[in-house]
Each structure stands twice: as structure tokens, then as C-alpha cells.
């Protein structure tokens, strides 16, 4: 029986279909209201506008189906199977990063705003999304300038004997020291929430009312505080542009060139454009399926769901998907394809952003490729270094020794492939022996199978470091399997009188060559090598400091009765350093999971006796 004949016997009910290649690998997962009708359409050539389907069907050797009771169940199962198998022809959102939000729980005592990644249903209020932690923290920084709310956990604040520095610069009202009433602090929290919701006019009216009330009661200091808040809010509200009346809306933009797609998301909150995100994907099927699968993968994977989603084209699953997202959100969701008016203009703007981002990404890729070609030519490498790795060692007199690996792919940092190495076999200060251990672990069989070989390895140092690494590679039988260079930092020199100071050029040493290669300073190839060297150094230092911090708190509480490995780890997570632990009260320590009063008192007494 041929595959097409097999499809004729498929049921006409809802479900999911899995397409496999010669090796039995799942290469595409789809859903359908009518399985037989949908799968049969892949074999039809008459008038099929989805010209990309032929590339998929040329590789399909078998198709399996799984029945579901409803279309909604089929959609959920499809999403689960795509995450599980990562089929080649389904949409991959690996480049999509976590969203950030601002969280506040008005039910807490003296609430404060924090930056979070998740939005659990815990009764708190969440504002955003923000495309990065930097953007979220910038909004928080601007907000606390207007609304002086507490910055630290309440237990930490209450343990202080005097107000913190933020109070002295006017960015905290010091509720921990009783310098503001609960009612006045609650008004600040409510004002901050109105501000984040974009209700500027309502906020201004409320602050004016409070200012006049305080003035009438001759509470002039309080009236002045509300006046200052009012001025700050009015200046900020004037800068906000309302582009659309309504609630929370996400606008999807779309641009395609061959099998490369750029998606743009514009976030409109309370009528104002608050942010955006650009998402590049590879896709070989039709546009409608790409947009539908993007919505499904994006919003069912912890992304904040708005009240309305505007699309650049119509999709078949809009009603079904809106119903499912509404259930997840806990409120009504609308998915529409506007054909005129302001909403259509917003979609056009999102598409323009997508096209611009695609062209910018293309130019950046071409520039990076040119830099790699130039680097290969200037250093006479055996290949164009698409994958560059750099290693660094960080230690203090042989203690807390760590190694790091930074990886650049296609000329850009590939942070998902960075690695830390805790040195296990080397005692004392022996950087070369530590580097040998790192290389042995990096280039062992299982790691090579997963990460492959780099095209170029960069060593931080001069000819001595280069020769040492050559010896390590010879021992590991890796000589000639990739290119190797060392990059020596520039040196500062002065004349005999010490009056004139000169800075030497950064030098690149190559195997078998006595004199270094000196590239033009600030040239793209040299900046690329310096960037990966600095990344490896930064990554090693961060891990080294982390280990020192862990050892510091561990040694401070080591031997205290009642403090075992689990409690030590919990204390480390909550306080982070010996200093913060020493500043904590017994009640603060008791907030750590598993800490009873007797153990907390014993720990507090031991730290303060020391």
C-alpha cells in the first residue's frame, strides 16, 4: 500500500499527524479538524499555493495519526509533541527569550515592586511585559524616583537601626522606621500601579485631591510631598503617546524572504506603545501556518497573554486559539486581522519593523562574515573560523581555581555554549596544568560528539602560553585539527625619567612563527579576538567569585550544631554572603526553610560571638 493510499483510510475526526523520514525521525507535526482531509491536501498539486510543501513531502516516508476528542485537545497535543521532538519543519523559537514583568502584591505589609520572569496566579499584580531585564529595571528605577517605595525585603529593612541610603536621596519613604503611615504608603503603591497601567489622568486627579486636602488641613509638608509627586507624574505622562484606546494589545508583524522569517511584536498597554520584540525564525511551509504556529508556541509557553492580538494575515485557527488562550489567561482574548483604521496601521508598523530588522540582521551577518574572512586571511588560518573558542583560568594562590570557555559562532557570542570548569586535579598555582585539565575535559569523546571541534582556539597570553598549549594539544593528539593563536595584551611603558608613557599594540602569536602579527588597532578582526578573550576572562571571574562567596558562608557556619548541608545551601540562597547573614535577626534566619527557632538562635549567637 502506498502512502497516499494509506491516507485514504485515515479517520475524519480531529487529531494530530506525525510525518517521518527514511530514518523514522519525526520531521513535522500538525493538527487537523478532519485528519483525512488535511493530510490528503499535502498530496494535492492542483492549485496548492503552499509551494514549500513539496520540500517537506519529498522527505516524508510514513505518516502516523493520533485521535483526540476535540480540536482544542489536538492543538494542545500538537504543541506538546513539537516541544518533545523538535521536528525540522516545525517552527523553532529557540531564539525567543524570557519576558520580564514588574510584580507587586498589595496584600503584603508595605508592598514593594520586583522584577520577575514568571506570572503565577498568586493574587499579585503584574505589569509588562518587558523584552529584557534591563528594560524592566529601568522602568522600576524611573518609578521609584516618583514613588519612594521600599527597595529591600521587609525582614532586611526591619533589621536596620536607621533608614537606608535610598531614604537619604529621597527614593524610599522608610516605612521600616515609621516615617510614613500605612495609609500614605498604600496611596503611593496605588499611585505606582495607576502609573504602570497607563492611567495618567486618573493618577494626576488623585494626587491633586490629596495635595488640596493636606493643604486645607494645614499639613504643609505632606502637601508639598504630593505636589512634588504630582510634578514628576505630569512630566512623565506628557511624554506618553496614546496610540489606541483600549486595553492590552499585542500587534504581530511579519516579513519573509525564502525560508527566513522575521516576526515583530509590538506591545500596547493601556493605549500606549510600551515596547517591542523581534524574533527571527526559519520556516519552509506557508505563511498562514507559520503565524498560527508562532501564536500557539509563543503564548502557550509562559508569554503574557493580552486581551487582543492583531495579525498581518488571517489564520484558520483564530477562533479556536482565542478560546484556548482565553482559558489560560482567565479572561476573554480576541484574535483578529484588521483591514482598515488605526489597528491596520499598527499592523503595518509592526510589519515595517520586521522588514527593517530582517535587513539589519542581514547586514550584520554579512559584516561578521567579512570580518571572519579577513581574520582568516591575515592570520593565514586553514579555514574561515565560524566557531571560535577561548579559554581562561581564574585562581588565587591555587584556591577556588576555575576554567572557562567562551564561544563565538559566526562572529557573535554564543552564550548558550559557554562552559565553566571547576579544577579538580591540580593543587597549587599551576595555570598550565589547570589548562591541561580543561582541555582534557573539553576534548574527550562524549564532549566532542556533542560540541564538535572548533575552527579556532584563542589563548590569552604571549608566545610562552602558546607553546604550552601546543604541548597540551600534542599530548591529546589534537595538533592540526583546528587553528591555534594567542593574543597578548597591550603593555604600558615609560622612559627612564618616567615622564612619557606609551601603550604598545596588542600582538597575535602564531605556531611556528617567531615574530607576532600586529593587526591595525581597532580593526574588526582584532576587536573580535579581544572581545572573545574578554568574555572568557569575565566568565571565569564571575564563577570564581561565586565559589569564593559560597566558601565564605560555608566556612563561617561550618561546625555549628544543627547546620547541615541542606540548611547551609538554604542559608546561602537566601542571604548570599556572610555579611548579610550576620546582619540578619533571629526572625530573619527563621524565614529560611527548615530553620527552627533553637537552630536560628544558636546560629545567631555563634556568628555574633565570633
pLDDT for 554 beyond 70: no
pLDDT at 48: 46
Confidence of residue 601 (pLDDT cuts 50, 70, 90): confident
User: Could you give the residue range(s) of every CATH 3.30.420.340 domain in the chain?
Assistant: 387-538
For the domain spanning 387-538, the CATH number is 3.30.420.340
Confidence of residue 118 (pLDDT cuts 50, 70, 90): confident
- Select the more confidently predicted residue: 229 or 284: 284
Compute the distance between CA of residue 265 and CA of residue 251 in angstroms, rounded to an integer: 6
Domain 558-609 has CATH 1.10.150.20: yes
501-518: average pLDDT: 82
Give the H or E element holding residue 493. Answer: strand 492-494
Per-residue pLDDT reduced to its tens digit, 193-237: 877 776 666 667 776 777 887 788 787 777 776 677 666 555 545
Per-residue pLDDT reduced to its tens digit, 50-103: 556 777 888 899 999 999 998 889 998 998 898 888 888 888 776 545 678 888
Average pLDDT, the chain: 82
Question: How many residues are there in the chain?
Answer: 610
CA dist 546 → 359, 402, 563, 565, 576 (Å): 40, 11, 21, 18, 9
Confidence of residue 461 (pLDDT cuts 50, 70, 90): confident
pLDDT for 139 beyond 50: yes
Q: Are 144 and 329 in contact (CB under 8 A)?
A: no
User: How many CA atoms, within 13 angstroms, populate the side-chain half-sphere of residue 360?
Assistant: 10
183 pairs with which residues across the strands? none
Q: Are 532 and 408 in contact (CB under 8 A)?
A: yes
DSSP-assigned letter for residue 55: H
pLDDT at 199: 67
562-588: average pLDDT: 75
236-257: average pLDDT: 72
Neighbours of 364 (CB within 10 A): 13
Per-residue pLDDT reduced to its tens digit, 1-32: 788 888 888 999 999 999 999 889 999 999 99
User: Could you give the residue range(s) of every CATH 1.10.150.20 domain in the chain?
Assistant: 558-609
pLDDT at 501: 60
pLDDT for 238 beyond 70: no
pLDDT at 423: 83
pLDDT for 581 beyond 80: no
Q: Are 29 and 18 in contact (CB under 8 A)?
A: yes
pLDDT at 47: 43
Q: Which set of grid coordinates corresponds to residue 9?
A: 483510510
530-536: average pLDDT: 92
Q: Are 156 and 78 in contact (CB under 8 A)?
A: no
Class of domain 249-359: alpha beta
**Torsion region of 22: left, alpha or beta (phi above 0 gives left; psi -120 to 50 gives alpha):** alpha
Phi and psi torsions of 148, nearest 5° = -75, 80
pLDDT at 244: 64
What is the pTM for the complete model shown? 0.66
Q: Which set of grid coordinates corresponds to residue 280?
A: 527571527
384-410: average pLDDT: 85
42-46: average pLDDT: 70
Compute the distance between CA of residue 393 and CA of residue 40 in angstroms, rounded to an integer: 59
Class of domain 3-85: alpha beta
Q: Are 439 and 476 in contact (CB under 8 A)?
A: yes
Amino acid at each position: 500500500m502506498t502512502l497516499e493510499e494509506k491516507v485514504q483510510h485515515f479517520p475524519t475526526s480531529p487529531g494530530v499527524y506525525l510525518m517521518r523520514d527514511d530514518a523514522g525521525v519525526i520531521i513535522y507535526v500538525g493538527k487537523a479538524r478532519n485528519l483525512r482531509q488535511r493530510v490528503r491536501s499535502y498530496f494535492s498539486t492542483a492549485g496548492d499555493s503552499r509551494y514549500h510543501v513539496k520540500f517537506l513531502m519529498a522527505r516524508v516516508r510514513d505518516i502516523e495519526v493520533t485521535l483526540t476528542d476535540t480540536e482544542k485537545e489536538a492543538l494542545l497535543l500538537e504543541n506538546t509533541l513539537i516541544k518533545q521532538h523538535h521536528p525540522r519543519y516545525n517552527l523553532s523559537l529557540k531564539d525567543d527569550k524570557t519576558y520580564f514583568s514588574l510584580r507587586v502584591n498589595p496584600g503584603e505589609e508595605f508592598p514593594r515592586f520586583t522584577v520577575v520572569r514568571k506570572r503565577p496566579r498568586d493574587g499579585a499584580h503584574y505589569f509588562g511585559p518587558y523584552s529584557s531585564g534591563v528594560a524592566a529595571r529601568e522602568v522600576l528605577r524611573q518609578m521609584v524616583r516618583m514613588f519612594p517605595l521600599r527597595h529591600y525585603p521587609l525582614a532586611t529593612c526591619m533589621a536596620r537601626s536607621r533608614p537606608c541610603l535610598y531614604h537619604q536621596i529621597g527614593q524610599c519613604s522608610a516605612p521600616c522606621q515609621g516615617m510614613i503611615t500605612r495609609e500614605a504608603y498604600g496611596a503611593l503603591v496605588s499611585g505606582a500601579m495607576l502609573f504602570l497601567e497607563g492611567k495618567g489622568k486618573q493618577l494626576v486627579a488623585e494626587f491633586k485631591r490629596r495635595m488640596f486636602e493636606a493643604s486645607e488641613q494645614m499639613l504643609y509638608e505632606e502637601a508639598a510631598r504630593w505636589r512634588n509627586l504630582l510634578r514628576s507624574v505630569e512630566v512623565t505622562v506628557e511624554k506618553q503617546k496614546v496610540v489606541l484606546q483600549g486595553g492590552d494589545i499585542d500587534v504581530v508583524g511579519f516579513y519573509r524572504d525564502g525560508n527566513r522569517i522575521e516576526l515583530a511584536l509590538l506591545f500596547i498597554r493601556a493605549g500606549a506603545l510600551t515596547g517591542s520584540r523581534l524574533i527571527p525564525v526559519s520556516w519552509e511551509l506557508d505563511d498562514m501556518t507559520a503565524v498560527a504556529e508562532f501564536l500557539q508556541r509563543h503564548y502557550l509557553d509562559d508569554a503574557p497573554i493580552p486581551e487582543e492580538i492583531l495579525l498581518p494575515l488571517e489564520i484558520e485557527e483564530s477562533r479556536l486559539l482565542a478560546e484556548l488562550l482565553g482559558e489560560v489567561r482567565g479572561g476573554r482574548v480576541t484574535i483578529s486581522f484588521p483591514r482598515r483604521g488605526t489597528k491596520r496601521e499598527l499592523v503595518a508598523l509592526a510589519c515595517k519593523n520586521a522588514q527593517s530588522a530582517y535587513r539589519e540582521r542581514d547586514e550584520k551577518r554579512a559584516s561578521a562574515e567579512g570580518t571572519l574572512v579577513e581574520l582568516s586571511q591575515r592570520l593565514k588560518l586553514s579555514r574561515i573560523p565560524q566557531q571560535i573558542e577561548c579559554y581562561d583560568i581564574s585562581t588565587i594562590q591555587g584556591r577556588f581555581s576555575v576554567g572557562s570557555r567562551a564561544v563565538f559562532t559566526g562572529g557573535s557570542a554564543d552564550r548558550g555554549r559557554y562552559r565553566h570548569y571547576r579544577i579538580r586535579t591540580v593543587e597549587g598555582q599551576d595555570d598550565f596544568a589547570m589548562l591541561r585539565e580543561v582541555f582534557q575535559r573539553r576534548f574527550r569523546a562524549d564532549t566532542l560528539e556533542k560540541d564538535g571541534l572548533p575552527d579556532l582556539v584563542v589563548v590569552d597570553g604571549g608566545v610562552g602560553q602558546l607553546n604550552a598549549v601546543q604541548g597540551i594539544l600534542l599530548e591529546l593528539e589534537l595538533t592540526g585539527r583546528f587553528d591555534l593563536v594567542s593574543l597578548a595584551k597591550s603593555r604600558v611603558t615609560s622612559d627612564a625619567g618616567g615622564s612619557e608613557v606609551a601603550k604598545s599594540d596588542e600582538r597575535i602569536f602564531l605556531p611556528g612563527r617567531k615574530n607576532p602579527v600586529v593587526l591595525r588597532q581597532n580593526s574588526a578582526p582584532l576587536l573580535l579576538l579581544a572581545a572573545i578573550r574578554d568574555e572568557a576572562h569575565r566568565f571565569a571571574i564571575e564563577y570564581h567569585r561565586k565559589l569564593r562567596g559560597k566558601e565564605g558562608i560555608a566556612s563561617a557556619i561550618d561546625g555549628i550544631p544543627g547546620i547541615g548541608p541542606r540548611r547551609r545551601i538554604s542559608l546561602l540562597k537566601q542571604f548570599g554572603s556572610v555579611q548579610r547573614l550576620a546582619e540578619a535577626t533571629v526572625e530573619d534566619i527563621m524565614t529560611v526553610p527548615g530553620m527552627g527557632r533553637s537552630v536560628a538562635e544558636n546560629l545567631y549567637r555563634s556568628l555574633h560571638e565570633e
